[in-house]
Structure 1
């Protein structure tokens, strides 16, 4: 279950870096649903919650504007995988410490959850980043706010499922993959007669 929780959180980070981080921080701070390991308690710090909240608002707005969304995706290529590593490691209860001695950190198994989370979030991010320009081009930018809202909803759903009902993560990931594939195929078919692309 911890692996499903961590996978759901890191997948959500691939769509929006700040939603799962903010969810973990708020739930740790104000409820008993999440108890972050001591190494990750900084996520529930007041300043961190405010910073994540502001960054989330900026991300949500930027991701809904054609062209700006693609620039934002390029900038997020580092942020989303890093957030995926953080939430995966905190989701599996990793006792990762602050890295003051990289040799000790890599000699132990503490880096493994972070790397797994980075890879999962990066895969989701690259898929998102690759499909958005195609969707924007095919719909002359009208798809940007709709697709972005769906992605934000999926990130919220994945984060909530990961925390409260981890087994649902598998269903949501399958539905998300199918939804992206279906939308991508539909828009591509619609644009074929106009562009002549096979």
Structure 2
């Protein structure tokens, strides 16, 4: 049961960060016999699913390194990562009680949302900076964090669940601050742009 809970939570959390890479890695692990998935998730190990996920993971890898495209990509994937995390979390419990699967879907959606919003909020704040190096560093750190977290969820479930609780506490603390920071950054940019345009009009 601990392994099933860890798999469910791990897939949801990782989907909020890197959905396609999560599917590709778990599917490949199942295909070579390293990862054992319930029947409801057996489709992840199919060649077409792994191939599609791998292609999209490569596209996401490069899109995530371009500041403007990264923010647009995150905005679009708000509608994809969170539902996918909910579905994967429910399917990870196999053919369990329907009420338990419903609860897992709700919890999985919440986990995917917390990971996604923390990622998207921090990256939106970083993207306000004109230099690209911080974006690359943050993106690479997210790649490593997702891979390490997913590995722990699959092979060290107790450790992962303890760390996941710590992450949720951190997300609850940092998300309001990220939102205020992004709002302040956008307001500052809007004020600067509105302040420059009238000056140009006077000279013209």
Deviations 1:65-87 (A, max 9, x none): 11110001011112211231233
Q: TM-score, normalised by structure 1?
A: 0.75
Question: Residue 140 of structure 2 is aligned with which of 149, 153, 160?
Answer: 149
Partners of 1:113 and 1:48 in 2: CA distance? 23
Larger CA Rg, structure 1 vs 2: 2
1:13 aligns with 2:15: yes
Q: TM-score, normalised by structure 2?
A: 0.73
Partners of 2:25 and 2:168 in 1: CA distance? 20
Q: Is the 8 A contact 1:84 1:121 kept in 2?
A: yes
Q: Is the 8 A contact 1:94 1:113 kept in 2?
A: no
C-alpha RMSD over aligned residues = 2.9
Q: Which residue in 1 is equivalent to 2:72?
A: 71
Q: Pairwise mapping of residues 89-100 of structure 1 onto structure 2 (< 5 A)?
A: 89-91=90-92, 93-95=93-95
Question: Residue 30 of structure 1 is aligned with which of 29, 32, 46?
Answer: 32
Partners of 1:58 and 1:68 in 2: CA distance? 11
Q: Is the 8 A contact 1:20 1:87 kept in 2?
A: no
Partners of 1:146 and 1:163 in 2: CA distance? 26
Q: Which residue in 2 is equivalent to 1:114?
A: 105
| Count of matched residue pairs | 174
Structure richer in helix, relative to its length: 2
CA drift of 1:140 comes to 3.3
Q: Which residue in 1 is equivalent to 2:192?
A: none
Task: Compare relative contact order (CA 8 Å, sep 6+) and give the higher one, 1 or 2.
Answer: 1
Partners of 2:61 and 2:123 in 1: CA distance? 15
Partners of 1:139 and 1:169 in 2: CA distance? 36
Q: Pairwise mapping of residues 116-131 of structure 1 onto structure 2 (< 5 A)?
A: 116-131=107-122
In structure 2, runs of 5+ residues without a counterpart are 182-187, 189-204
Partners of 2:143 and 2:163 in 1: CA distance? 13
Q: Is the 8 A contact 2:85 2:108 kept in 1?
A: yes
1:166 aligns with 2:157: yes
